[in-house]
């Protein structure tokens, strides 16, 4: 599947396209097929997001998994600071990245 | 230390208001990201892996206690309670909001700080010896000259759009503590046989994709020509440096391809031309700057005795204090490398504490080291024990300066959008491994440096042991290098062979150290043994 990611203009937070808006959680991502460029152009024009791009991903029992490690780290947060990730209560969450 | 005059302050204040308006226009839609990006980068505001990152300039690494405390307050107020000290003697914040950025710059301006020219193809933060003004072996304090270069290079219109970023280091000792020959220009202040002070110019060094050690192009430039000669070096680069290929745009490529002799010839020709233009600032400006760097009022008659009855304190003194030019004083290094910690990171409370300690114990001064530690440059030996206790209470007393646990590591793939592999977890595992085996002391001086990509922000080329993280089809892989050195005998490390996974590289490092322990002679450091016996014994042990 193809999903979209980018950064929130004001906060800089990593965000993911959920079909209608931008979510902080990669699991909210939807497959955009070949509509990626169109959505990015519209959303960047509306200043809802910047530095947006499309990536390959898969889905499994744990949810959406970006294909590349860099985007998995973006989705979770720094693996060396579990307290700063989106799953601070789970110190093993970094294992999902590898 | 240097204090802004009204012109310095006005420039910084004006830039804050300019950026505030630029940010407002970006948020309102008057500016696109394409238009705004170069403007935010000119103010040190990057987009990194998770958020905006702000890089703050610390000229030649020198900070007052108040400035250091302000950095701690910014970490709390605008970031997530910590900051990251870098190999450029700067600090970076990783979780900045765009709408807060103008306010952060305003807070920095209140303590005579800014983020100008911490990005872009301009002359970046001038770096220097972190023991400047305290070291016994320096010809002069190099910082007034670094400050003069800072003033010359800030907003220099001709050098605001160079082919690539440009980094200058200034030292004044034969011992190089600033990796001077791995800069675009390295300036060593020297004294000639006639007792005159001048500058040796090393041009065209750097790490990254094509690492090179800078050759000396002029062994003695008169001090009165410091700026003019620097201008000539930059002008030739600006004229001929490649703008068609960013990977070949650094001055090291130009000097290499043009040849040192031809580059030098053109610099000398340009220098002769510039001399006729009278661009050198008057010596009166240097004389105005110098008193800001005058020695503090060192006490006399201090004892050199240190009570070493506490073994933990004694070890810290042995490893983390450096001889000082004034009797009864030392420079004390605060390690930002606790076992298993993130090299260079400090919490807001730790940053504020270091500011307080600078005020209380070191004439209100501290320094950021390019090795990602902090120096209190002037500490009375008689007060070291109380300083140690205060540092220890905040987990800042790791006794590991220049040991295998004192690792330089770039932010790597945990934070950096350019990185290919994570650096920090490797550093953490290596420090934990050697702390647990207890070999750190036995290994002595061993400089280990890790980069998460070819850009070499972690100085892996210059590590006695270097590690380079690469991307192998989406999987992190780590190459091992041996024999690098960033000191006065600068050398570039060589790759041992095929890379390893995260745990494999830790094992490989340990095997390399075992070869050293088995083969060393006398007082040899790891680097000395490597230079004597070469790569083969290490490869045999590592790859078996």
pLDDT along chain B (544 residues), means of 10: 95 98 97 96 97 98 98 98 97 98 98 97 97 96 97 96 98 98 98 96 97 98 96 98 96 98 98 96 93 97 94 98 97 98 98 98 98 98 98 98 98 97 98 96 98 97 98 95 97 98 98 98 98 98 95
Backbone angles phi, psi at B127, to 5 degrees: -105, 165
Average pLDDT over residues A63-72: 96
pTM of the model: 0.97
Say if the Cβ atoms of A70 and B49 lie within 8 Å: yes
- Dihedral angle, C-alpha B428, B434, B437, B441, nearest 10 °: -150
Kindly list the distances between the CA atom of residue B162 and the CA atoms of B15, B157, B253, B353, B496, in Å, as whole numbers in the listed order. 21, 10, 14, 39, 35
Q: Which residues of B touch A51 (CB under 8 A)?
A: 33, 47
Please indicate, yes or no, if residue B218 is contained in any of the structural domains: yes
Two structure tokens written together for B485: 């050195």
Say if the Cβ atoms of A78 and B474 lie within 8 Å: no
CATH number of the domain bearing residue B74: 3.90.480.20
Two structure tokens written together for B256: 């290499």
Q: Which pLDDT value is given to residue B373?
A: 98
Q: Which of B360, B529, B358, B367 is nearest to B446 (CA)?
A: B529
Is B97 an interface residue toward A (CB < 8 Å)? Answer: yes
Q: Which residues of A touch B26 (CB under 8 A)?
A: 9
Please indicate, yes or no, if residue B296 is contained in any of the structural domains: no
What's the domain range around B98?
A: 6-110
Q: Do B366 and B269 have their domain in common?
A: no
Q: Last residue of some domain: B232, B254, B288?
A: B288
DSSP B390: H
Q: Do B511 and B457 have their domain in common?
A: yes
Say if the Cβ atoms of B95 and A12 lie within 8 Å: yes
Q: Do B139 and B280 have their domain in common?
A: yes
Please indicate, yes or no, if residue B78 is contained in any of the structural domains: yes
For residue A91, pLDDT over 90 is answered with: no
* Nearest-neighbour CA in chain B from A75: distance (Å): 8
For residue A23, pLDDT over 90 is answered with: yes
Please indicate, yes or no, if residue B401 is contained in any of the structural domains: no
For residue A61, pLDDT over 90 is answered with: no
Q: What is the ipTM of this complex?
A: 0.97
Give how many domains chain B has, as a whole number.
4
CA nearest B426 in A: which residue? A80
Q: Which pLDDT value is given to residue B182?
A: 98
Average pLDDT over residues A2-30: 97
For residue A62, pLDDT over 90 is answered with: no
Q: Which residues of A touch B103 (CB under 8 A)?
A: none
Please indicate, yes or no, if residue B121 is contained in any of the structural domains: no
Q: Which of B268, B221, B282, B206 is nearest to B455 (CA)?
A: B206
- Dihedral angle, C-alpha B395, B397, B403, B407, nearest 10 °: 40
CATH number of the domain bearing residue B477: 3.30.413.10
Q: Do B176 and B246 have their domain in common?
A: yes
Q: Which residues of B touch A81 (CB under 8 A)?
A: 342, 414
B83 DSSP β-pair partners: B346
Say if the Cβ atoms of A12 and B414 lie within 8 Å: no
With contact defined as beta carbons under 8 Å apart, do B105 and B96 qualify? Answer: no
Q: Which pLDDT value is given to residue B100?
A: 98
What's the domain range around A29?
A: 2-97
Q: Which pLDDT value is given to residue A58?
A: 98
Strands B168-171 and B127-128 come out as: parallel
Please indicate, yes or no, if residue B128 is contained in any of the structural domains: no
Q: Which pLDDT value is given to residue B508?
A: 98
Q: Which of B109, B120, B129, B10 is nearest to B61 (CA)?
A: B129
Give how many domains chain A has, as a whole number.
1
Say if the Cβ atoms of A84 and B80 lie within 8 Å: yes
Q: Which residues of A touch B99 (CB under 8 A)?
A: 10-11
Say if the Cβ atoms of B342 and A11 lie within 8 Å: no
Say if the Cβ atoms of B33 and A13 lie within 8 Å: no
Distance of CA B34 to the CA centre of its chain: 30
Please indicate, yes or no, if residue B306 is contained in any of the structural domains: no
Helix (H) or strand (E) holding B306: none
Please indicate, yes or no, if residue B400 is contained in any of the structural domains: no
Q: Which residues of A touch B476 (CB under 8 A)?
A: 69
Chain A residues contacting B, CB < 8 Å?
7, 9-14, 44, 47, 50-51, 67-70, 73-74, 77-81, 84
With contact defined as beta carbons under 8 Å apart, do A94 and A79 qualify? Answer: yes
Q: Last residue of some domain: B393, B422, B442?
A: B393
Is B204 an interface residue toward A (CB < 8 Å)? Answer: no
């Amino acid at each position: 599947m193809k999903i979209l990611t980018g950064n929130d203009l004001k906060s800089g937070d990593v965000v993911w396209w959920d079909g209608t808006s931008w979510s902080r959680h990669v699991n909210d991502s939807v497959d955009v097929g070949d509509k990626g460029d169109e959505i990015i152009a519209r959303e960047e024009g509306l200043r809802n997001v910047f530095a947006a791009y499309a990536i390959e991903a898969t889905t499994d029992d744990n949810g959406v998994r970006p294909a590349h490690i860099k985007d998995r780290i973006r989705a979770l947060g720094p693996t060396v600071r579990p307290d700063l990730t989106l799953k601070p209560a789970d110190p093993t969450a970094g294992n999902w990245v590898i | 230390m240097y204090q802004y005059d009204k012109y310095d302050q006005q420039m910084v204040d004006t830039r804050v208001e300019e950026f505030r308006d630029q940010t407002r226009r970006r948020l309102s839609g008057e500016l696109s990201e394409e238009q705004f990006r170069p403007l935010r980068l000119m103010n040190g505001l990057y987009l990194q892996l998770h958020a905006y990152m702000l890089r703050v300039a610390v000229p030649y690494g020198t900070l007052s206690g108040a400035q250091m405390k302000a950095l701690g307050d910014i970490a709390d107020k605008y970031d997530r309670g910590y900051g990251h000290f870098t190999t450029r003697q700067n600090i970076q914040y990783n979780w900045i909001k765009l709408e807060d950025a103008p306010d952060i710059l305003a807070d920095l301006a209140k303590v005579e700080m800014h983020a100008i020219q911490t990005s872009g193809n301009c002359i970046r933060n001038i770096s220097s010896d972190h023991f400047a003004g305290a070291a016994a072996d320096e010809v002069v304090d190099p910082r007034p000259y670094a400050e003069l270069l800072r003033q010359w290079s800030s907003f220099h219109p001709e050098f605001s759009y160079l082919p690539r970023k440009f980094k200058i280091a200034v030292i004044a000792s034969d011992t190089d503590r600033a990796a001077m020959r791995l800069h675009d220009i390295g300036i060593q202040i020297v004294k000639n046989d006639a007792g005159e002070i001048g500058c040796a110019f090393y041009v065209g060094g750097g790490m990254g994709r094509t690492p090179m050690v800078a050759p000396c192009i002029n062994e003695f430039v008169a001090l009165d020509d410091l700026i003019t000669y620097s201008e000539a070096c930059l002008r030739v680069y600006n004229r001929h440096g490649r703008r068609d290929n960013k990977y070949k745009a650094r001055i090291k490529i130009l000097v290499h391809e043009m040849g040192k002799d031809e580059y030098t010839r053109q610099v000398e020709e340009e220098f002769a031309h510039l001399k006729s233009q009278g661009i050198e600032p008057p010596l009166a400006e240097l004389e105005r700057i110098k008193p800001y760097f005058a020695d503090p009022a060192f006490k006399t008659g201090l004892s050199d005795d240190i009570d070493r009855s506490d073994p933990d304190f004694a070890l810290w003194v042995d490893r983390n204090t450096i001889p000082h030019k004034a009797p009864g004083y030392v420079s004390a290094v605060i390690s930002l490398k606790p076992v298993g910690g993130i090299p260079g990171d400090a919490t807001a409370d730790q940053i504020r504490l270091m500011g307080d300690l600078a005020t209380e114990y070191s004439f209100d001064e501290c320094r950021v080291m390019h090795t990602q530690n902090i120096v209190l440059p002037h500490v009375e030996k008689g007060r070291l024990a109380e300083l140690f206790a205060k540092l220890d209470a905040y987990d800042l007393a790791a006794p590991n300066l220049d040991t295998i646990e004192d690792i330089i590591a770039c932010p790597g793939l945990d934070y950096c959008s350019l990185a290919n592999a994570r650096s920090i977890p490797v550093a953490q595992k290596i420090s934990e491994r050697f702390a647990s085996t207890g070999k750190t002391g036995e290994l002595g001086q061993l400089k280990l440096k890790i980069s998460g990509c070819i850009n070499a922000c972690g100085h892996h080329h210059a590590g006695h042991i270097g590690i380079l993280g690469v991307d192998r089809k989406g999987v992190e892989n780590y190459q091992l290098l041996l024999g690098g050195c960033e000191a006065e005998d600068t050398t570039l490390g060589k790759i041992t062979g095929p890379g390893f996974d995260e745990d494999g590289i830790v094992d490989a490092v340990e095997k390399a150290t075992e070869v050293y322990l088995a083969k060393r002679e006398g007082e040899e450091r790891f680097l000395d043994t490597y230079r004597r016996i070469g790569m083969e014994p290490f490869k045999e042990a590592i790859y078996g």
